Amino acid sequence: MSLAEKDLEILELKRVLDELRKKTSQAELTEQRLRNAHSKVDAQIERFTRVHEYAMRAFAVDNVAEVYAITAEGAVDIFQMEMGAIFLVNVFDNQLKLLSQGNMDDAPETLALPPDWLKEKELWKFPRSQASFESPVVSPMWLELGLAHAIFAPFFDNEKRLTSLIVGGISQEGESFYDFNPREILSSFMVFAQQMNAIVNNMAALDRARLNAEAKNRFLANLSHEIRTPMNAIIGMVQLARRSDDLEEINGFVNQIDLSSNHLLGLLNDVLDLTKIEEGKLELVEEIFNIKDIMDNLINSVQSNAKAKNQDLKVDYHSLKNFSLQGDALKLSQVILNLLSNAIKFTPKDGQIRLNIDELNQESGRTFLKFEVSDTGIGLSEDFLTRAFKPFEQGDSGISRKYGGTGLGLAISQHIIELMGGRIHVENRPEGGARFYFYVWFNLTEDRPGPVEEAQPEGPDLTGLTALIVDDVDINRAIAVAFLKKVGVKSEQATDGREALDKFLAADLGHYDFILMDMQMPIMDGISATRAIRATGRADATKVVILAMTANVFKEDVQEAMSAGMNGYIAKPIKNEVFLSAIRKSLSQAS
């Protein structure tokens, strides 16, 4: 073999040797990576095993406070963190309130949120499957806790509202001693948070179901009492009126009947409102209103009750810069009226009641208002403070016996405020009594009008018109006939939709100027009768005014009536002025 050939062979052997060394190095690197991956898998298995252990511990306890304590402990133990705690999030007060300090012994009871921190973190939109970390810490509140590396995850309630944060990390003093990287534990930390959050929510749901069952039983008993009391007054006043020949005395009995009837209607409206809420059918109506006018009217409406107890009732809205707002004035009034009525009811003679409205912020054509109703009354028990806004709840049986009520008003108020995008709170005042307060954003309007009283249009004269009244209940027809007779309207009657259709077809063209149609009737209901009349092909079939006169008061009922070809809608129980105004309005629009 020549020297050149030997050199080539040596070079080839060196090349093979280098390739083997390279592959050996790659194999060793792969092996190291596999060992690292195996180590990470083992660590993850260990973590998830520990998560399971803590979840089982949480399942075994019977109150939410213990679950929070176990969660804070687990955050530190499972993820080898130096510090951990759980904080309640109060968005509107920009605060975190300590729920469980874990091993964060020096954690403050309350912690101020930096301006717009939640907005920046978008925790209102925070995905349920995501945790977050700040490393190094940049948030002032984590710095205040002494954290150098922080990781946190949100807790949401069953309504998907942010309620609290589980927070953990390494202290600034211990940063150099710990090899802690929040990013590495992010996914398993969120799994842990989700597990514990689910346990909290399940526990809350079970407690709520149990308490609701108990509360509904109390509610039915209270409702029976609340209904029977005005019914007793109505029946009693009717009997007394029949035996009296004194017109002034009879008029007094009629006034009492009117008061008791309105009380019954209020109870019915509360029950219907709660039904709408539970079915997700309660909706807001946007309109321009003057906040000063609304509040003054509310104070005037309850002032007589306050004066009867010699109570000092005042409203203060002097910090407001804008009075012309856009929102649902009727539902806002409903909430304030409920809070004021409760304050008057539960405050003794010579007490004080205040309604304060403050403008806290203004931006982008909106204003952020705080409403507060405070009193010097009996206050609320610590137990009731936690369930004041739950349906059917009252302080105790003695409260319901002494003061009455169904326990629906505060629950309805809470749902209305939340529908407006706000939150309502309650607490006892240190000097005695209670304070309810809530925050709501309202849109500002371009113009800012002062108090304006709208003139009620008279509408067309009804004298000499002919109406067909369709209702299967005799007393309902009799009331409508009496109201119409007072304004010169001639009435004919039908007891169901089929009879109404037959009368319409048998009458001369244009004989009926308008038809009052009940919606629920035997043989043929009002919707079917209206469609049938409109479809007859007569020259007056599409021109005759048809108004629904019914106790079906939900929005979809109104929409169904309009879709069937009706011109208007009158809700039962009917009131004379509203009844005649609706008829005049529909006749004006049809002419």
Q: Cβ(561)–Cβ(549) under 8 Å?
A: no
Q: Read out DSSP for 291-304? A: HHHHHHHHHHHHHH
pLDDT at 399: 44
Distance from chain centroid for Cα 415: 2
Distance from chain centroid for Cα 580: 35
**What is the rounded CA–CA span in Å between residue 418 and residue 420?**
5
> What CATH number belongs to 212-278?
1.10.287.130
**What is the rounded CA–CA span in Å between residue 487 and residue 514?**
14
Q: Cβ(292)–Cβ(369) under 8 Å?
A: no
pLDDT at 249: 87
Long-range CB pairs of 272-277, under 8 A, 24+ apart, other chains included: 272/553, 273/408, 273/412, 274/391, 274/408, 274/411, 274/412, 276/554, 277/411, 277/412, 277/415
pLDDT at 504: 95
**What is the rounded CA–CA span in Å between residue 287 and residue 541?**
35
Q: Cβ(567)–Cβ(545) under 8 Å?
A: yes
**What is the rounded CA–CA span in Å between residue 88 and residue 326?**
32
pLDDT at 171: 87
Residue type, 59: F
CATH topology of domain 466-590: Rossmann fold (3.40.50)
- Among 53, 191, 172, 177, CA closest to 128: 191
Beta-bridge mates of residue 156? 162
Distance from chain centroid for Cα 305: 29
pLDDT at 383: 63
3-state secondary structure string across 25-64: HHHHHHHHHHHHHHHHHHHHHHHHHHHHHHHHHHHHCCCH
pTM of the full structure: 0.47
**What is the rounded CA–CA span in Å between residue 476 and residue 483?**
11
Which pairing describes strands 366-375 and 352-363: parallel, antiparallel, or unpaired? antiparallel
Question: Where in the chain are the domains?
Answer: 1-45, 64-205, 212-278, 287-444, 466-590
Which pairing describes strands 514-517 and 545-550: parallel, antiparallel, or unpaired? parallel
- Alpha helix (H) ranges present in 151-185? none
Regions of the chain short of the pLDDT cut 70: 1, 37-44, 91-92, 116, 118-130, 211-212, 214-226, 229, 259, 262-263, 266-267, 269-282, 381-388, 390-407, 446-459, 552-555
Measure the CA angle with vertex 535, ends 466 and 471; round to 5°: 45
CATH topology of domain 64-205: Beta-Lactamase (3.30.450)
CB neighbours of residue 428 within 10 Å: 15
Q: Read out DSSP for 392-408? A: T--S-HHHHHHH---S-
Q: Does domain 287-444 correspond to CATH entry 3.30.565.10?
A: yes
